[in-house]
Amino acid sequence: MTHRIAVIAGDGIGTEVIPEGLRALEAAAKRFNIDLDCQTFEFGSCDYYLEHGKMLPDDWFEQLKDFDALFYGAVGWPEKVPDHISLWGSLLQFRRRFDQYINLRPCKLMPGIKSPLAGRQPGDIDFYVVRENTEGEYSSVGGKMFEGTDREVVIQDTVMTRTGIDRVLKYAFDLAQTRPRKKLTSATKSNGISITMPYWDERVEAMAKGYPEIAVDKFHIDILTANFVLHPDWFDVVVGSNLFGDILSDLGPACTGTIGIAPSANINPEGKFPSLFEPVHGSAPDIAGRGIANPIGQIWSGAMMLEHLGYQDAGDAMLKAIEDVLASGDQGVLTPDVGGQGTTESLGRAIAEKIAG
Ligand code: NAD
Ligand code: IPM
Ligand code: MN
């Protein structure tokens, strides 16, 4: 069976880490006899925008909808195109139109990597952020009024639906169910945001009734961010709205040493549309062009993609290769964000070689 993968590198270091993601996928595909047919698209980047006046062609949905998965690098180059135009015109369209309502973001302190948190060892930080990915604070409801006057006002409504909340909660509870600790933490802010967040809490309580074996707690987002730093070992599955999940999924990986290794799976669990796999990080204009970006976020996203396509063994082997190479501590291979002097390519090649076995 052939799996059709649409590859979109995007901008900046997206174009540097994608080739390493593909190298690792190729090694896994060969070892596990997986037939991947990867097709590269130029759209979804700021250079495409500069040429065409839009981030995506009008028929992008038709072009992509029958792929089995999308493998994305990163998008955004604010000096060329304002971020809200490039992101709303590409990545956020994919998430919404392909109904990728789960954004699954693992957070794990790896062997060989020093956490910026004192005394933390591998095993101390090992949780998932499950982020609602299609609604919430990322809404297109609102507008600007009285523009150019001193009465100028901007409004952007948060939209939460019962279906939207319940489906992400169900996914998170089901995930917690598969974990040894069976623990779920909900990110809220129902003390200050007095309509949507109490409703979120209410839905969490309702869902929890169906999962009596799961230990559920909740924290307001402000103290939750503090607890990520002070007590990362408390967390197992953390579920949050679109914005809270976004913030937590940069903070969590930072606590594991670098956001450069963090992967994400934007999932349409029903499989009605393709899911999208991309690193958590962005296009990193500050280091782009130097060949020093850590490719692990992209490679690990590839591992999640193979798992999603049904190849758990191949995904596990990719993650094991990442862990082994990190644990080796080889300064010549590792990228600077994890204490080495190597390059995107040296790290990518070392991982691909391990995957090949
Ligand atoms: P960023 O994630 O691009 O970079 C933040 C910091 O982390 C930078 O110092 C960068 O050098 C470092 N970093 C990121 N990835 C790294 C890697 N693989 N290896 C080593 N260091 C790495 O976030 P930003 O600076 O806020 O955003 C830059 C652009 O990317 C903006 O246009 C933003 O909108 C966009 N962005 C896109 C995505 C996405 O495509 N999913 C995600 C986040 C940001
Ligand atoms: C992410 C990114 C995006 C988000 C941006 C680039 C729109 O930060 O994937 O975490 O906020 O979802
Ligand atoms: Mn983010």
Q: What is the pLDDT of residues 307-321, one digit of tens each?
A: 999 999 999 999 999
The string of pLDDT tens digits covering residues 13-27 is 999 999 999 999 999
What is the structure's pLDDT at 254? Answer: 98
User: Is the separation of the CB atoms in 344 and 20 below 8 Å?
Assistant: yes
> Are 32 and 55 in a shared domain?
yes
Residue 19 domain-assigned?
yes
Categorize the per-residue pLDDT at 10 as very low, low, confident or very high, splitting at 50, 70 and 90.
Answer: very high
Question: Ligand 3 centre and the CA of 276: distance in Å?
Answer: 15
Residue 179 domain-assigned?
yes
User: Is the separation of the CB atoms in 237 and 130 below 8 Å?
Assistant: yes
Listed residue (140, 172, 143, 296) closest to 245, CA to CA: 172
What is the structure's pLDDT at 277? Answer: 99
**CA nearest ligand 1 atom 44, residue:** 282
Using most ligand atoms within 8 A of CB, pick from 250, 283, 294 the residue to mutate for ligand 1: 283
> Are 278 and 314 in a shared domain?
yes
* 147-179 core/surface letters (b: 16 or more CB in 10 A; e: else): eeeeeeeeeeebbbeeebbebbbebbbebbeee
User: Which atom of ligand 1 is the closest one to the Cα of 297?
Assistant: 18
> Are 282 and 328 in a shared domain?
yes
User: Which atom of ligand 2 is the closest one to the Cα of 92?
Assistant: 7
Domain boundaries, position 222: 126-255
Question: Ligand 3 centre and the CA of 243: distance in Å?
Answer: 8
Q: Which whole number is the average pLDDT over 29-49? A: 98
> Are 42 and 140 in a shared domain?
no
What is the structure's pLDDT at 243? Answer: 98
Residue 345 domain-assigned?
yes
33 Ramachandran zone, left/alpha/beta (phi>0; psi -120 to 50): left
Q: Cα separation of 18 and 87, whole Å? A: 18
> Are 159 and 248 in a shared domain?
yes
> Are 246 and 312 in a shared domain?
no
> Are 157 and 86 in a shared domain?
no
The 3-state DSSP class for residue 292 equals: coil
The 3-state DSSP class for residue 69 equals: strand
User: Is the separation of the CB atoms in 302 and 294 below 8 Å?
Assistant: no
Q: Which two tokens stand for residue 347?
A: 């790290």
Domain termination residue (choose one: 211, 232, 255):
255
> DSSP class of residue 55?
S
User: Is the separation of the CB atoms in 38 and 69 below 8 Å?
Assistant: no
Residue 189 domain-assigned?
yes
Residue 261 domain-assigned?
no
Residue 63: CA count within 13 A, CB half-sphere: 16
> Are 45 and 164 in a shared domain?
no
What is the structure's pLDDT at 182? Answer: 98
The per-residue DSSP string of 95-111 comes to: HHHTT--EEEEEEEPPT
Listed residue (237, 251, 250) closest to 208, CA to CA: 237
> Dihedrals φ, ψ of 176, to 5°?
-60, -35
Categorize the per-residue pLDDT at 144 as very low, low, confident or very high, splitting at 50, 70 and 90.
Answer: very high
Q: Which residues contact 21 (CB under 8 A, 6 or more apart)?
A: 71, 73, 295, 298, 299, 301, 302, 348
The string of pLDDT tens digits covering residues 201-251 is 999 999 999 999 999 999 999 999 999 999 999 999 999 999 999 999 999
User: Which atom of ligand 1 is the closest one to the Cα of 281?
Assistant: 2
Q: Cα separation of 223 and 202, whole Å? A: 20
User: Is the separation of the CB atoms in 24 and 36 below 8 Å?
Assistant: no
Residue 142 domain-assigned?
yes
Question: Ligand 1 centre and the CA of 198: distance in Å?
Answer: 32
Total-model pTM: 0.98
> Dihedrals φ, ψ of 128, to 5°?
-115, 140
What is the structure's pLDDT at 167? Answer: 98
> Are 151 and 218 in a shared domain?
yes
What is the structure's pLDDT at 188? Answer: 98
Q: Cα separation of 56 and 325, whole Å? A: 37
Q: Cα separation of 198 and 176, whole Å? A: 22
Average confidence score pLDDT of the chain? 98
Q: Which whole number is the average pLDDT over 191-203? A: 98
Residue 116 domain-assigned?
no
> Are 147 and 238 in a shared domain?
yes
Count of structural domains within the chain: 2
> Are 199 and 315 in a shared domain?
no
Report the share of the chain in percent with pLDDT over 70.
100
What is the structure's pLDDT at 12? Answer: 98
Question: Ligand 1 centre and the CA of 100: distance in Å?
Answer: 21
**CA nearest ligand 1 atom 17, residue:** 260
Q: Which two tokens stand for residue 312?
A: 């758990």
Could you tell me the CATH number of the domain that includes residue 151? 3.40.718.10
Domain termination residue (choose one: 224, 255, 286):
255
> Are 284 and 307 in a shared domain?
yes
Residue 264 domain-assigned?
no
Ligand 1 pocket at CB < 6 A: 13, 74-76, 78, 83, 87, 91, 259-260, 278, 281-287, 293-294, 297, 337
Domain termination residue (choose one: 206, 223, 255):
255
